Chains A and B, each alone.
Chain A
Amino acid sequence: MSTPSRLRLMRDFKQLQKDPPAGIAAVPSDDNILIWHAFILGPSDTPFEDGTFRLLLEFTESYPNKPPSVRFTSKMFHPNVYADGGICLDILQNRWSPTYDVSAILTSIQSLLDEPNVSSPANSEAATLYQTNRREYEKRVKMTVEQSWNAEPTLASNLRAS
C-alpha cells in the first residue's frame, strides 16, 4: 500500500543510506514501514560514550504532519527520558516541523544525550544528580552504557515482535 506517509518514509530511508549521520543507524521493520528500529551510539567524550542505545519509532499515516512516537527500548538514565523510555524533547512535541526526517529526529536525540534540559525533567533523580552530584550521575549513566551492550531477552523479543 502506498500512502504519502509511507512514500516519505522510504525517502527518509534512502536519505539515511545515502548520507548516514555518525553514530546513527535506523531501519524500518520488514513488514511495516511505519515501525522503525534505531540505534544511537553514545557521543565520544561524554558519559554516554560507546553506549549502543536502541530506540523504537512509531509513525502514523499523519507523518510528516505529526511527529512519530519515539522511545528508548534500552534502559536509560537521563534527565529527559521517562522510566518507560519515552523522550521529553520539544521537537517531538510542540516544536515539531514537517521538514524533519528520521535522520534529523535521531541526531537531535543524540545531541540531547549530553545536553540535557534540566528545567523539564522526565527523570527527577537523574536531573537532581546531574545538577548536584555529577560524579554519581556519570556513574549511573555508565551503568546504562554497559547494559546497552547486552540485548536483554525481553527487549530483543520486543524488537522482533514489533
Chain B
Amino acid sequence: MSENSQTSAQSTNANNNSNPTSDTVSSSVPFTLKRWNLVGIWSWDVAHDVCAICRTALSESCLRCQAASNLQECIIVWGTCNHSFHNCCMSQWVKQRAQCPLCQTDWVINRIGQ
C-alpha cells in the first residue's frame, strides 16, 4: 500500500523569543500556544496501486467483476507480506498455489476490506 501523506498543522508561535522571525508575531498575538496537533490525510495512490494480477487499479473493480458487470464494489485483500490484490483475483490464484504472486512467500491474509 502506498500513501499520499499530507500533514497540516496550524500553529502560532507565541512567547518564543528565541526565534527572531516570530518576534513581530509574538508581540501581536494575545494568547499562548499550549498544544498543537498534526493531522495526517491519506488517500489511495490510484496512479500506482494496481492489482498485479489483473492490472487494474485497486480503486476500480477487478476485470472479473467488470466482465460480469458486477456493480458491487470489489474488495481488496492484503497479505502478511503487505502485498495487496483484488480479493476476487487472489481467491482465483490461491486455488493454483497459496503463495503471494509477487514475493512467492506463503500467502497468509492480513486484512480484507476497502
Which residues 1-26 of A have a CB within 8 angstroms of B?
A: 2-4, 6-8, 11-12, 15
Which residues 59-94 of A have a CB within 8 angstroms of B?
A: 64-66
A residues near B95, Cβ cutoff 8 Å = 65
A65 to B94, CA, bound (A): 9
A65 to B101, CA, bound (A): 10
Which residue of A4, A12, A97, A98 is within 8 Å of B64 (Cβ)? A4
Q: Mark B73-114, 1 if CB is under 8 A from A, else 0.
A: 000000000000000010011011000011010000000000
Closest to A7 in B: B63
B residues near A2, Cβ cutoff 8 Å = 67
**Given A65-B92, A65-B93, A66-B96 in contact, is the A98-B53 Cβ separation under 8 Å?**
yes
**Given A97-B101, A98-B101, A99-B101 in contact, is the A8-B54 Cβ separation under 8 Å?**
yes
Is A99's CB under 8 angstroms from B66's CB?
Answer: no
Is A4's CB under 8 angstroms from B63's CB?
Answer: yes
Number of interface residues of A (CB under 8 A): 16
From A65, A66, A101, residue with most partner B Cβ within 10 Å: A65
A residues near B66, Cβ cutoff 8 Å = 4, 7
- What distance in Å separates the Cβ of B74 from its nearest Cβ neighbour in chain A? 12
Is B67's CB under 8 angstroms from A3's CB?
Answer: yes
List 14 A-B residue pairs with CB atoms under 8 Å apart, sorted by A's residue number: A4-B54, A4-B63, A4-B66, A4-B67, A7-B66, A8-B54, A11-B55, A11-B63, A97-B101, A97-B102, A98-B96, A98-B101, A99-B53, A101-B55
Question: Which residue numbers of B lie inside 8 Å of A, CB to CB?
Answer: 52-56, 62-64, 66-67, 89, 92-93, 95-96, 101-102, 104
Question: Which residue numbers of A lie inside 8 Å of B, CB to CB?
Answer: 2-4, 6-8, 11-12, 15, 64-66, 97-99, 101
The 3 closest A-B pairs by CB, nearest first: A99-B52, A4-B63, A4-B64
